[in-house]
């Protein structure tokens, strides 16, 4: 990955936020330029076009995600359920730590027409499935996990739950005893809540007895 100047990073950061909040087509390059405090022409000058700006954001984030996945592969001494729990913790932490980008992903994966970005998204999801499946399969063969589980669907539930939590936060905020937390504390409490829920869910479906 090439390095980016402060100005370029500023554009990328602002663009990511605005694309997340208003959608790609709902955000104009003038909006981005104004909030990033740069001239409009700089966007084309640096990134070529608005489309390529989005592509740059994706390459930047997805490279980090791929690195993240590879790190997860390493620790191999844990029990299966520990592994799953660790995986969930890290996924939740990662995805809720880059909520703007996850919003963009949520939007982009809905586009019907094929695009390099859509391909990248599903390729990454495939890799994440490839991370979880062998853990489950091996534990099933060892008789530790229940056998009748749809792993693909379980990953769908993992992603879907997290992606659903992101827009729900603003609403959940005003409900149960979290009004007096500051923004950072609240974000941590959400991570915890989602993580706890998902770990219970996975444990229940993988280790229960019917």
Partner DNA sequence: GTTTAAATTAAACGTTTGTTTAACTTTGCC
Partner DNA sequence: GGCAAAGTTAAACAAACGTTTAATTTAAAC
Residue 106 contacts which entry, a second copy, DNA, none (Cβ below 5-8 A, type-dependent): a second copy
**Position 163 contacts a second copy (CB under 8 A):** yes
Piece of the chain touching a second copy by CB under 8 A; list 29-37, 40-48, 67-75, 167-175: 167-175
Residue 168 contacts which entry, DNA, a second copy, none (Cβ below 5-8 A, type-dependent): a second copy
With respect to DNA, which residue has the nearer C-beta, 5 or 174? Answer: 5
Contact 117, 108 (CB under 8 A): yes
User: Which residue from 45, 116, 122, 156 is in contact with DNA, where contact means CB under 7 A?
Assistant: 45
Fill in the DSSP letter of residue 109: T
Dihedral-angle region of residue 143 (phi above 0 means left; psi in -120 to 50 means alpha; beta otherwise) = left
How far apart, in Å, are the Cα atoms of 143 and each of 92, 98, 108, 137?
27, 37, 39, 10
Piece of the chain touching a second copy by CB under 8 A; list 45-53, 55-63, 80-88, 169-177: 169-177
Piece of the chain touching DNA by CB under 7 A; list 45-53, 106-114, 115-123, 178-186: 45-53
Piece of the chain touching a second copy by CB under 8 A; list 32-40, 53-61, 79-87, 106-114: 106-114
User: Which residue from 12, 19, 27, 99 is in contact with DNA, where contact means CB under 7 A?
Assistant: 27
Tokens representing 209 are 């007895």
Alpha helices by DSSP H, 98-210? 99-108, 116-141, 151-173, 183-207
Instruction: Output the smallest distance, CB 73 to a second copy, in A.
Output: 23
How far apart, in Å, are the Cα atoms of 145 and each of 57, 81, 130, 137?
39, 9, 17, 8
Contact 150, 172 (CB under 8 A): no
With respect to DNA, which residue has the nearer C-beta, 34 or 123? Answer: 34
What is the binding site for DNA (CB under 7 A)?
5, 7, 27-31, 38-45, 49-51
């Amino acid at each position: 990955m090439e390095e980016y100047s402060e100005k370029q990073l500023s554009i990328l950061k602002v663009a990511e936020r605005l694309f997340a909040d208003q959608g790609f087509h709902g955000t104009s390059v003038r909006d981005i330029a104004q909030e990033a405090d740069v001239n409009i022409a700089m966007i084309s000058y640096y990134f070529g076009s608005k489309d390529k700006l989005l592509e740059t954001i994706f390459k930047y984030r997805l490279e980090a995600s791929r690195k993240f996945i590879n790190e997860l592969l390493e620790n191999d001494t844990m029990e299966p359920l520990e592994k799953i729990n660790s995986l969930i913790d890290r996924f939740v932490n990662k995805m809720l730590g880059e909520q703007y980008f996850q919003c963009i992903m949520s939007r982009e994966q809905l586009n019907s027409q094929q695009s390099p970005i859509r391909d990248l998204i599903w390729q990454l999801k495939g890799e994440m499935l490839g991370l979880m499946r062998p853990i489950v399969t091996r534990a099933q063969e060892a008789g530790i996990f229940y056998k009748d589980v749809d792993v693909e669907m379980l990953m769908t539930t993992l992603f879907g739950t997290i992606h659903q939590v992101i827009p729900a936060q603003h609403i959940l905020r005003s409900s149960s005893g979290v009004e007096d937390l500051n923004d950072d504390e609240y974000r941590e409490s959400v991570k915890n809540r989602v993580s706890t829920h998902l770990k219970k869910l996975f444990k229940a479906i993988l280790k229960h007895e019917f």
